[in-house]
């Protein structure tokens, strides 16, 4: 028998997580010039991860990444195993037994915590919950957000915060033609929100928005962006940051914010107020959120190393709803090392390492679970390619015997009553969603229950794995 990667001994690889980094890892393997079987294992019956459940519904262009993933899914030797949870339906050890290598591309689905009193009061939520809810994620379908609150605070100034602000600021009519989940559109149509406060712990020069996303917040039909001109007076270190050539995004952000500061409010029914140099100190309320108390900060440190230091001065916003949008964090997978401080699987060159920093044979990671939640969708392509390069370099050290891949996993799943969803099953779900959206003028009406998705295709036949 030949070495893995040959016609008579195909390299069997399980990729865990079907978001962008999972598809890019699959592509790198399937186009590497060897014979490779890739099984993309996904917890939900629907693939595409954050592109389907994270990208805002009013940003359809970003979802065009799916067209690339559809092409990857059509490559020979690609298979989807949807509706399968690694660590529950199949263990990492079982995957190692049936595959030559396992690549974790499971993203960062939890949130960082603020660590302030009152963080868990009713009315205080993570942005992740809200984003997953309006995008129709089945696990968030039944969340409730009190949109009868007139004042909302959004903590954090990155692009997720921008998405949350936009969805809160837009009217239902502006969202109606998108793929927003029906339950969310109904709730947002009854929203009484009129004031959104978006809060940054550092200054305008350190906000993490990208230019397009920030600019868009000033172009909303029903919401006026407001910035106190005084908040745009920068310290010397921040001015030095903006002068650095490579920091053009921040320089442009400050320019955009200056434009917002120069505008009159106009007659718009909603307003979006930017706060800088303020950190949440506590959330208070009798049984539910009523007030956000913030402490004012000053910046300390050299250019590009400035951190927020509390001044002791406080101010508050009376608000009934708050979203913490301060970055994602990965969640551990049973049987795989985890760096809880960074919220990632520890790796070196894409190879998963143990506590002593030694590579664990045949385990790899790519994407946000490897490097943390940064970058745009396309950033994950290079990242996945780099991890797969390490995997292919390790080929001589991998077990040289043949592995069964999905044929080995299928009986385990069957015995456990798990019905894997193949790519053609997903295509049936996809077609039904598109058909459901058509009469409403929407690109699709997503199914928000796993059972609804599974009912879209024949249950009697097990899929050909
Ligand atoms: P992010 O860009 O890292 O922004 C996180 C924000 O939270 C920052 O303003 C950060 O401030 C703040 N923060 C962190 N800890 C805090 C604390 N303890 N108290 C107060 N504020 C705190 O993260 P994200 O918005 O979650 O986005 C994740 C990634 O997805 C980014 O790369 C983003 O560009 C991308 N994304 C892109 C799009 C798009 O292209 N349209 C849409 C959504 C997301 P500091 O700077 O002070 O840490």
Query: pLDDT tens digits, residue range 397-436?
Result: 999 999 999 999 999 999 999 999 999 999 999 999 999 9
CA 405 to ligand 1 centroid distance, Å: 38
Cα 57 to Cα 17, 50, 437: the distances in Å are: 22, 12, 13
CA 171 to ligand 1 centroid distance, Å: 25
Where are the extended beta strands (E) located within 69-180?
Answer: 78-81, 101-104, 110-111, 124-126, 151-155
- The answer to whether residue 392 scores a pLDDT higher than 80 is yes
Superfamily of domain 11-109+330-421: NAD(P)-binding Rossmann-like Domain (3.40.50.720)
CA 230 to ligand 1 centroid distance, Å: 24
CA 154 to ligand 1 centroid distance, Å: 12
Q: What is the mean pLDDT of residues 228-256?
A: 97
Coil/strand/helix, residue 315: strand
Note the pLDDT of residue 338: 97
* Summary mean pLDDT of the chain: 96
Q: How do residues 50-108 score in pLDDT, each as one tens digit?
A: 999 999 999 999 999 999 999 999 999 999 999 999 999 999 999 999 999 999 999 99
Structure tokens at 59: 């940003």
Measured by CA distance, the residue closest to atom 33 of ligand 1 is: 159
Measured by CA distance, the residue closest to atom 36 of ligand 1 is: 159
Q: How do residues 260-313 score in pLDDT, each as one tens digit?
A: 999 977 789 999 999 999 999 999 999 999 999 999 999 999 999 999 999 999
- The answer to whether residue 332 scores a pLDDT higher than 50 is yes
- The answer to whether residue 464 scores a pLDDT higher than 60 is no
What single DSSP character describes residue 153? E
Q: Which residues surround ligand 1 with Cβ inside 6 Å?
A: 59, 112, 114, 155-161, 163, 200-202, 206, 208, 210, 213, 279, 325-328, 373-376
Buried b (16+ CB within 10 A) or exposed e, 74-103: eeebbbbbbbbebbebbebebbbebbbbbb
> What ligand 1 atom has the least distance to the C-alpha of 115?
18
The DSSP line for 258-286 is HHHHTS--TT-SEEEEEE-SEEEEEEE-S
Q: Spell out the residues 6+ positions from residue 18 whose beta carbon is closer than 8 angstroms to its own.
A: 40, 41, 42, 47, 48, 49, 80, 82, 105
458 pLDDT tier (thresholds 50, 70, 90): low
Q: What is the mean pLDDT of residues 27-33?
A: 98
> What ligand 1 atom has the least distance to the C-alpha of 56?
42
Q: How many CB atoms lie within 10 A of CB 382?
A: 11
Note the pLDDT of residue 174: 97
CA 284 to ligand 1 centroid distance, Å: 24
User: Is the CB of residue 330 less than 8 Å from the CB of residue 343?
Assistant: yes
Probe residue for ligand 1, chosen from 112, 160, 247, 301 as the CB with the greatest number of ligand atoms within 8 Å? 160
CA 263 to ligand 1 centroid distance, Å: 26
Q: Kind and range of the H or E element at 257?
A: helix 248-261
CA 39 to ligand 1 centroid distance, Å: 32
Measured by CA distance, the residue closest to atom 21 of ligand 1 is: 156
Annotated domain spans of the chain: 11-109+330-421, 116-328
Q: How do residues 210-223 score in pLDDT, each as one tens digit?
A: 999 999 999 999 99
- The answer to whether residue 28 scores a pLDDT higher than 60 is yes
Measured by CA distance, the residue closest to atom 16 of ligand 1 is: 326
CA 161 to ligand 1 centroid distance, Å: 7
- The answer to whether residue 459 scores a pLDDT higher than 70 is no
Predicted model pTM: 0.95
> What ligand 1 atom has the least distance to the C-alpha of 307?
47
User: 116-328 domain in CATH 3.50.50.60?
Assistant: yes
Count of residues making up the chain: 465
CA 162 to ligand 1 centroid distance, Å: 9
Cα 32 to Cα 9, 36, 292, 362: the distances in Å are: 15, 8, 53, 18
CA 206 to ligand 1 centroid distance, Å: 11
Probe residue for ligand 1, chosen from 158, 200, 206, 274 as the CB with the greatest number of ligand atoms within 8 Å? 158
Distance (Å, whole) CA 283 – CA 292: 5
- The answer to whether residue 368 scores a pLDDT higher than 60 is yes
Note the pLDDT of residue 460: 44
> What ligand 1 atom has the least distance to the C-alpha of 379?
32
Q: How do residues 115-151 score in pLDDT, each as one tens digit?
A: 999 999 999 999 999 999 999 999 999 999 999 999 9
Buried b (16+ CB within 10 A) or exposed e, 262-284: eeeeeeeebbbbbbbbbbbbbbe
1 pLDDT tier (thresholds 50, 70, 90): confident
Note the pLDDT of residue 457: 82
Structure tokens at 115: 């660590």
> What ligand 1 atom has the least distance to the C-alpha of 112?
15
């Amino acid at each position: 028998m030949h070495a893995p990667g040959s016609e008579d001994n195909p390299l069997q690889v399980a990729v865990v997580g079907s978001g962008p980094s999972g598809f890019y890892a699959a592509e790198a393997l399937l186009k590497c010039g060897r014979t490779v079987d890739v099984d993309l294992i996904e917890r939900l019956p629907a693939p595409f991860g954050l592109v389907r459940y994270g990208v805002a519904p009013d940003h359809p262009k970003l979802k065009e990444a799916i067209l690339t993933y559809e092409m990857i899914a059509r490559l020979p030797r690609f298979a989807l195993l949807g509706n399968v949870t690694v660590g529950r339906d199949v263990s990492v050890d079982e995957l190692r037994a049936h595959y030559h290598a396992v690549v974790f591309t499971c993203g960062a689905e939890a949130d960082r915590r603020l660590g302030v009193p009152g963080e868990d009061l009713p009315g205080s939520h993570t942005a992740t919950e809200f984003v997953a809810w309006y995008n129709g994620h089945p696990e968030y379908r039944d969340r409730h957000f009190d949109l009868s609150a007139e004042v909302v605070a959004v903590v954090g100034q990155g692009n997720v915060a921008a998405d949350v602000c936009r969805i809160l600021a837009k009217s239902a009519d502006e969202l109606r033609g998108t793929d927003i989940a029906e339950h969310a559109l109904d709730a947002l149509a009854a929203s009484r929100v009129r004031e959104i406060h978006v809060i940054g712990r550092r200054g305008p020069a350190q906000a993490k928005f990208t230019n397009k996303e920030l600019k868009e917040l000033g172009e909303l039909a029903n919401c006026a962006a407001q910035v106190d001109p005084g908040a745009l007076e920068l310290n010397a270190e921040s001015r030095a940051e903006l002068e650095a050539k490579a920091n053009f995004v921040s320089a442009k952000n400050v320019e955009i914010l200056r434009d917002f500061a120069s505008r009159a409010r106009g007659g718009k029914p909603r307003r979006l107020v930017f706060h800088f140099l303020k950190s949440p100190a506590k959330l208070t309320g009798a049984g539910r959120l009523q007030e956000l108390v913030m402490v004012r900060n000053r910046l300390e440190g050299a250019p590009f190393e400035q951190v927020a230091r509390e001044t002791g001065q406080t101010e508050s916003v009376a608000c009934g709803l708050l979203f913490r949008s301060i970055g994602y964090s990965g969640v551990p997978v049973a049987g795989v090392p985890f760096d809880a401080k960074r919220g990632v699987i520890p790796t070196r060159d894409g190879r998963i390492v143990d506590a002593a920093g030694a590579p664990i044979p045949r385990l790899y990671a790519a994407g946000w679970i490897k490097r943390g939640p940064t970058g745009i969708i396309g950033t994950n392509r290079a990242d996945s390619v780099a991890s797969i390069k390490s995997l292919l370099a390790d080929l001589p050290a991998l077990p040289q015997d043949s592995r069964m891949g999905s044929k080995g996993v299928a009986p385990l799943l069957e015995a456990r009553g798990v019905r894997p969803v193949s790519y053609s099953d997903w295509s049936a779900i996809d077609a039904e969603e598109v058909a459901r959206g058509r009469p409403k003028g929407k690109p699709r009406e997503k199914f928000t229950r796993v059972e609804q998705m599974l009912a879209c295709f024949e249950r009697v036949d097990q899929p050909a794995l």
